[in-house]
Amino acid sequence: MRETDFKRKYDNSNGPLASSLYSFLQKIPKVELHAHLNGCIRPDTLFALAEEKGVTLSSHHFQPAKKNENNQNRYHTDDEDALLYNVQPRSLHDCFDMFAEIPRCVSDVTSLRRITFEALHDFAAHNVLYLELRTTPKVLNAECDKRQYLETVLGVMNEFEQSRTRPMTCRLIVAIDRSLSEQEACENVELAIDLRKSTLYADRIVGMDLGGNPTRGDFRIVRPHLERARQAGLRITLHCGEVADSGAMTSDHDDESSPPKYSETQAMLEFGPDRLGHALFVPNTLWSSQQRHIPVETCPMSNVMTLELAQHVRGHLIEGLQQHPQLREWLDTQYPLAIGTDDPGVFDTNPTKELWLLCRAFDLNVSMICRLVEQSVEYAFCDETTKRRLQKDIHEQMLLLLQSNRDK
């Protein structure tokens, strides 16, 4: 089948073929480079853990998804109809409220093991062949300090890989929460460096992430610790420009007598991270030509929700995504991108849904989306041998899938 035929077959936006597109996308091999462990929690697991531990969750945030009643008949109704809407409250503010509540339920090693296993299982179910999962190490209780927290997650990754006939390759990124203290940042970096000395974890821990509430904290405080991590061989990804020039220290004064404004986004670009998370508000003037090649981890559903893009179109996700501040330009200019889910449990998403939304919002055909996925392996933090093996596996699987569609 030629590319134009594919486009005709799979790009029928509101018609019954939408489900064919979804099931095709579900089968393609994928790469997930931007997922936060606690944000992956299955809603059912969260409710079960809350009950078990006697935790009352805020009813505003933790409720089953509702359909947008006003618009149920506006679009063609097919199996995929439920995917079109997300009217749950998930502004940036809402989701950080939720992030504060989840650890009250994931409060011991047993529940940490459970959410890790389930997250890995859920990614593998969408044929993710390579996963970089990130998490902020936490002290859960007297039996579980930050080191045990990370060792638990790493242990589950080992078990998961060994138990599957066609294993998903799992890697860990140790996260720093920018809203916490410098000491926390320092501890997380030292822990990541120390754990990598063990042959058990040397390959498994690949990088550090700076995340957390973008309206809090200051990159300048964390920067020396990230520098140290980089010198120790860890790769660095930064949540950057998630809100307009993030950073609590930005000066309000802009007259000639006052010192130049501190731009956190600029400082992050100058640091030269290996990848950027989100990069929603990075003015064109800030990027030097070299920085323009820093790959971006983009998370369509998360962006639609935190920027409240779908609110203006009655919760319709595709129309919401079309308002994304950067994606159209990135796709048009073939900017280096990796498509991620961010927090599948919080945003009611999964790796297939992300690709499906992207295809439908920006009129991408399946060949384009396959190319995008294949290219994103290049931005992974694993070693070169693993990358080449993955590229080969992904390419072969994609060819087989495209071939079998041609034969139908």
Ligand X SMILES: CNc1ncnc2c1ncn2[C@@H]1O[C@H](COP(=O)(O)O)[C@@H](O)[C@H]1O
Binding site for ligand X (CB under 6 A): 36-39, 95, 99, 135-136, 175, 177, 211-212, 239, 242, 302, 306, 342-343
177 versus 348: smaller Cβ distance to ligand X: 177
Q: How far is the CB of 112 from ligand X (least distance, A)?
A: 9
Q: How far is the CB of 238 from ligand X (least distance, A)?
A: 10
18 versus 131: smaller Cβ distance to ligand X: 131
Collect all residues with Cβ–Cβ distance below 8 Å to 190 and sequence separation of at least 6. none
136 versus 263: smaller Cβ distance to ligand X: 136
187 versus 242: smaller Cβ distance to ligand X: 242
| Contact in structure between 268 and 236 (CB atoms under 8 Å) | no
Q: How far is the CB of 209 from ligand X (least distance, A)?
A: 8
**Cβ neighbours around 107 below 10 Å, total:** 17
Q: How far is the CB of 343 from ligand X (least distance, A)?
A: 5
Q: How far is the CB of 119 from ligand X (least distance, A)?
A: 9
80 versus 348: smaller Cβ distance to ligand X: 348
Q: How far is the CB of 8 from ligand X (least distance, A)?
A: 36
Q: Torsion-angle region of residue 181: left (phi > 0), alpha (psi -120 to 50) or beta?
A: beta
Cα(382)–Cα(138) distance, rounded to whole angstroms?
24
**Cβ neighbours around 257 below 10 Å, total:** 5
80 versus 209: smaller Cβ distance to ligand X: 209
Q: Using DSSP bridges, classify how beta strands 275-278 and 296-298 pair: parallel, antiparallel or unpaired.
A: parallel
Q: How far is the CB of 36 from ligand X (least distance, A)?
A: 3
217 versus 315: smaller Cβ distance to ligand X: 217
20 versus 179: smaller Cβ distance to ligand X: 179
Phi, psi dihedral angles at 338 (to 5 degrees): -125, 130
Determine the angle formed by the axes of helices 384-407 and 18-27, rounding to 10 degrees: 140
Q: How far is the CB of 90 from ligand X (least distance, A)?
A: 9
DSSP letter string over 349-395? --HHHHHHHHHHHHT--HHHHHHHHHHHGGG-SS-HHHHHHHHHHHH
Cα(4)–Cα(184) distance, rounded to whole angstroms?
53
Q: How far is the CB of 287 from ligand X (least distance, A)?
A: 21
87 versus 150: smaller Cβ distance to ligand X: 150
C-alpha distances (whole Å) from 118 to each of 44, 93, 187, 197, 277 are: 11, 26, 27, 28, 24
298: enclosing H helix or E strand: strand 296-298
Sign of the Cα torsion 178, 182, 184, 189 reads positive
Q: Give the three-class secondary structure for 293.
A: helix
DSSP letter string over 196-234? HTSTTTTTTEEEEEEES-TTSS-HHHHHHHHHHHHHTT-
176: enclosing H helix or E strand: strand 169-177
